[in-house]
């Protein structure tokens, strides 16, 4: 079911989410995230991939779905960064919860994550450049962090597009 994407001032977006333990119960949430992503793609152009986290649709669970620029989709349950580059670089970043804003956010240009899929199987996934940013962005959502939290002046450093 297509869900409303919550705006940046929603309290749920500032809380750490619950770790998923029951994989059967979350299947409808995963489908809602996918349906909402598909709908969002019909009204917005995402040129560098897309992701949506469960808290953005009102579910405080460590679940995110990401799609790279080639359209390959991954369901990330309880994801964690297990490896990253030593340096960060500023990358232009946005969020479905506040599409009209952007900022240059310091992000690692390489990350390796460990996550569980919708069937409870553990896997690792590597991301470089834009996809690395997307993975970091989505994991941040699950920990109550928005991308402007990485900026020296927080929301004041956002710019309108």
Q: 112, 83 in Cβ contact below 8 A?
A: yes
Burial class (CB in 10 A: 0-12, 13-18, 19+), 46: middle
Catalytic residue among 59, 67, 118, 138: 138
Tell which residue, 98, 117, 114, 20, has the closest CA to residue 59: 20
Q: What is the pLDDT of residue 45?
A: 86
Q: What whole-number distance in Å separates Cα of residue 136 and Cα of residue 55? A: 15
| 0.95 surpassed by pTM | yes
Q: 20, 75 in Cβ contact below 8 A?
A: no
Bridge pairing between strands 73-84 and 63-67: antiparallel
The per-residue pLDDT for range 115-126, each reduced to its tens digit, is 999 999 999 999
* Positions in the chain short of pLDDT 50: none
Domains (range + CATH), the chain: 11-160 (3.90.45.10)
The verdict on whether 93 is a catalytic residue reads no
The per-residue pLDDT for range 84-117, each reduced to its tens digit, is 999 999 999 999 999 999 999 999 999 999 999 9
């Amino acid at each position: 079911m297509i869900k409303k994407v919550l705006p940046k001032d929603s309290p749920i977006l500032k809380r750490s989410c619950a770790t998923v333990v029951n994989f059967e119960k979350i299947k409808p949430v995963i489908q809602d995230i996918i349906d909402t992503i598909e709908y969002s793609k019909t009204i917005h152009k995402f040129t560098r991939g897309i992701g949506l986290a469960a808290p953005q649709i009102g579910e405080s669970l460590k679940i995110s779905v990401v799609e790279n620029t080639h359209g390959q989709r991954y369901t990330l349950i309880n994801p964690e960064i297990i490896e990253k580059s030593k340096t960060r670089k500023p990358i232009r970043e946005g969020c479905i919860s506040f599409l009209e804003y952007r900022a240059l956010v310091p992000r690692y240009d390489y990350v390796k994550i460990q996550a569980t899929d919708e069937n409870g199987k553990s896997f690792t996934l590597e991301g470089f450049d834009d996809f690395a940013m997307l993975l970091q962005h989505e994991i941040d959502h699950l920990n109550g962090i928005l991308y402007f939290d990485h900026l020296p002046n927080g929301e004041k450093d956002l710019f309108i597009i």
